Amino acid sequence: MSWPWIILIVSGMLEAVWATSLAASNGFKKLVPSIVFIISLVLSLLGLSWAMGSIPTGTAYAVWVGIGAVLTAGWAVVSGAERMTAARALLLLALIGCVVGLKVVS
């Protein structure tokens, strides 16, 4: 796997961090989650931007969003904020399949 893809995957993971931190910041009323949000947002977008120099925009953005969405939803289930249903599990697996498929055909 090449560096642009590794950076894109890490950036997608950071998307999940900033999305979760944004919710935890309680409207930016909590300092630590707000700081984590800002740092992870900047790093995530910088990584996405850098990866887009080598990976087509549509593919890079879809993979970045897909990774972030799956990890954010997964964390919500693990943390008990949301519950896992068969439909949710199936849809998350489909999303993972789409992300992997985009990588394969790129």
Judged against a pLDDT cut of 90, whether residue 102 lies above it is answered with no
> What whole-number distance in Å separates Cα of residue 104 and Cα of residue 106?
6
pLDDT band at residue 85 using 50, 70 and 90 as cut-offs: very high
Q: What is the pLDDT of residues 12-38, one digit of tens each?
A: 999 999 999 999 999 999 999 999 999
Per-residue model confidence as pLDDT tens digits over 40-75: 999 999 999 999 999 999 999 999 999 999 999 999
pLDDT at 105: 86
Angle CA 32–29–70, to nearest 5: 65
Place of tokens 């949000």: 37
φ/ψ of 83, rounded to 5, equals: -110, 150
Q: Residue 102 contacts by C-beta under 8 Å, 6 or more apart in sequence? A: 59, 62, 63, 66
Residue 25's domain comprises 3-105
Number of domains in the chain: 1
Phi-psi region of 88 (alpha: psi -120 to 50; beta: other; left: phi over 0): alpha
